[in-house]
């Protein structure tokens, strides 16, 4: 697992980032652009984490798959959801997506964006291969270069990727990749991009200059 930041495994062991409720933007973008059609629909979440979105997809009766690099969080998910023992696996999704067949929908909430640019390119080419023709990718919370944290952390060889945060939102989370619009569009050049939204929240209280800026993207594999 050469691109996966091992900090994630430690974070989960320390009970960090244990998100339990589905992400509202995942619900909104999926319902608007790729509403699951029932048990025939195959859905994959890359970087499934603590499984926050499982209950949302399970409510449609879809065939749900997931992959994450953290051995600790995969054990936790197998214990909590034994029905997904075979379809939620440990692995680096920038190296391989180890499932047979293709998917109608692949979702990614803040997961590819925790990898450097070359790994993201490889991961997106795997995602492209694993989508059915006409299948949809929904990516939520890709960090934007307008995020105030883009100025912090330690620079790397890749101008879009920083690491080594010791405080703030990304403390202890390894690689953090930020995109501007052109960079994001270049990453998705093989896809038909349907929507790119930038969401910018400027914190007013406390007035400390914190800006949370993220991209949401919906992209389709041409049919």
Q: Which stretch binds ligand SAM (CB under 6 A): 55-63, 79-87, 90-98, 184-192?
A: 90-98
Q: How far is the CB of 67 from ligand SAM (least distance, A)?
A: 6
101-130 mask for ligand SAM (x: CB under 6 A)? --------xxx--xx---------------
Judged by CB under 6 A, the residue of 3, 41, 161, 179 near ligand SAM is 3
Min dist CB 215 to ligand SAM, Å, is: 14
Q: Which residue's CB is nearer to ligand SAM, number 114 or number 163?
A: 114
Q: Residue 18 Cβ, how far from ligand SAM at the closest point, in Å?
A: 9
The secondary structure of the chain, three-state, reads CCCCCCHHHHHHHCCCCCCCCCCHHHHHHHHHHCCCCCCCCEEEEECCCCCCCHHHHHCCCCEEEEEECCHHHHHHHHHHCHHHCCCEEECCCCCCCCCCCCEEEEEEECCHHHCCHHHHHHHHHHHHHHEEEEEEEEEEEEEECCCHHHHCCEECCCCCEEECCCCCCCCCCCCEECECHHHHHHHCCCCEEEEEEEEEEECCCCCCCCEEEEEEEEEECCC
CB of 207 to ligand SAM, least distance (A): 27
The footprint of ligand SAM on this chain (CB under 6 A) covers a number of residues equal to: 21
State the minimum distance, in angstroms, from the CB of residue 152 to ligand SAM.
Answer: 17
Candidate residues 92, 150, 153, 179; the one interacting with ligand SAM per rule CB under 6 A = 92
Q: Tell me how far apart the alpha carbons of residues 191 and 164 are, in angstroms, rounded to a whole number.
A: 32
Applying CB under 6 A, the residues found at the interface with ligand SAM are: 3-4, 8, 19, 23, 47-49, 52, 68-70, 73, 92-94, 109-111, 114-115
């Amino acid at each position: 697992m050469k691109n996966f930041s091992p900090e994630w495994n430690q974070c989960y062991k320390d009970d960090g980032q244990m998100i339990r409720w589905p992400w509202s933007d995942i619900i909104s973008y999926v319902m608007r652009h790729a509403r699951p059609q029932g048990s025939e629909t195959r859905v994959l979440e890359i970087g499934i984490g603590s499984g926050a979105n499982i209950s949302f997809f399970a409510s449609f009766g879809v065939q749900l798959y997931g992959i994450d690099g953290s051995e600790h969080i995969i054990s936790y998910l197998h214990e909590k959801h034994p029905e997904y023992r075979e379809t939620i696996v440990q692995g680096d999704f920038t190296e391989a997506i180890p499932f047979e067949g293709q998917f109608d929908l692949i979702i990614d909430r803040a997961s590819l964006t925790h990898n450097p640019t070359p790994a993201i390119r490889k991961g997106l080419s795997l995602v492209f291969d694993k989508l059915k023709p006409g299948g949809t990718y929904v990516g939520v919370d890709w960090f934007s270069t307008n995020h105030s944290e883009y100025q912090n952390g330690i620079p790397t060889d890749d101008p879009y990727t920083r690491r080594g945060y010791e405080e703030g939102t990304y403390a202890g989370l390894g690689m953090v990749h930020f995109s501007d619009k052109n960079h994001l569009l270049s990453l998705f050049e093989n896809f038909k991009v349907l929507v790119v939204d930038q969401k910018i929240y400027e914190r007013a209280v406390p007035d400390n200059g914190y800006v949370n800026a993220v991209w949401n993207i919906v992209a389709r594999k041409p049919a």
